[in-house]
Amino acid sequence: MNERLRSAARRRDWARQWGPAAALIAGLLVLWEVGVRLTDAPPWLLPAPSAVASAFVDAGPQLWQHTGRTLVETAAGLVASVVTGVALAVAVDLLPPLRRAIYPLLVVSQTIPIIALAPLLVVWFGFGLLPRVLVVTLVCFFPIVISTAQGLAAADPDMVALLSSMGADRWMVFRKVRLPGALPAALSGLRIAATYAVMGAVISEWIGASQGLGVFMIRSANSYLTARLFAAIALTSVLSIALFGLVVLLERWAVPWYFAARREERWEEMR
């Protein structure tokens, strides 16, 4: 019986969380369609959602070909940002002087527009895959390193003191307490990075590429094929949402105790 109540509560939570957003999006699409038809707006200026859907079907083969390239850049850049971000977060946690030296530089790096750095990377590394992967890495790097470092710094001091009193060395304390405790924060940073990754790949393709969704967008805009441009934008959003969802699933697999504790808290509040 309790399990049924829990399942019903989860369904209500899901409907409460996503229902309003889904209803709003559906309503906006209907208003968009009706508005375009009533005003008889030219397709090159504002295509109706139905025209965008038709363009998506018509340009399907081209879109999927460009999407494959963008996904390769996104995946490679995201993996590189995770490896470098976690490594730097661990380094600044273990070495306080390095933390004081690196943190200001990390903040300053976020004041530089990535669209300004992308041409420099093309000049330095050419028009191949590497500069576009670097753009994605730079876009995703900051939230990962900051979230991971904060998670490591927020380790339970009582647990750290307990293991230290039992003779555990620094590495064991890090492996048994600090790293597991930092996983929720690190994965939260990865969720944020995942929403930026596809966007970073598209931006890099605007600067210099022969394939990718960014190239498809530019060609569509130059040809006044606005419906295709909207289709590419919609596909970019869908890819970002899907990547976000994958990270959420990874969270539930990697830190099940964290979500179990949150569910128990919600269950106690409902009781």
The 10s digit of each residue's pLDDT in 95-145 is 878 888 888 888 888 788 888 888 888 888 877 888 899 999 999 988 999
Within this chain, do residues 243 and 192 fall inside the same structural domain, yes or no?
yes
**Under a CB-based contact definition with an 8 Å cutoff, are residues 164 and 106 in contact?**
no
Give the domain range for residue 32: 1-40
Q: Which among 78, 87, 97, 89 is positioned nearest to 151, based on CA atoms?
A: 89
Within this chain, do residues 68 and 132 fall inside the same structural domain, yes or no?
yes
Q: What is the CATH number of the domain that holds 145?
A: 1.10.3720.10
pLDDT at res. 261: 57
pLDDT at res. 7: 60
pLDDT at res. 60: 83
Within this chain, do residues 101 and 233 fall inside the same structural domain, yes or no?
yes
How far CA 114 is from CA of 109, 135, 198, in Å, comes to 9, 7, 14
Q: Which among 174, 191, 212 is positioned nearest to 71, based on CA atoms?
A: 212
Q: Which among 231, 63, 72, 94 is positioned nearest to 175, based on CA atoms?
A: 94
Within this chain, do residues 86 and 158 fall inside the same structural domain, yes or no?
yes
pLDDT at res. 108: 81
Mean pLDDT of 15-28: 78
Q: Which among 72, 46, 69 is positioned nearest to 226, based on CA atoms?
A: 46
Within this chain, do residues 135 and 180 fall inside the same structural domain, yes or no?
yes
Within this chain, do residues 103 and 177 fall inside the same structural domain, yes or no?
yes
Within this chain, do residues 136 and 167 fall inside the same structural domain, yes or no?
yes
Look at the chain and report how many structural domains it folds into.
Answer: 2
C-alpha span between 193 and 137 (Å, rounded): 9
What tokens appear for 29 in the block? 């699409």
Prediction pTM value: 0.82
C-alpha span between 152 and 182 (Å, rounded): 5
DSSP state letters, 159-183: HHHHHHHTT--HHHHIIIIIHHHHH
Mean pLDDT of 140-165: 83
What tokens appear for 194 in the block? 């995942």
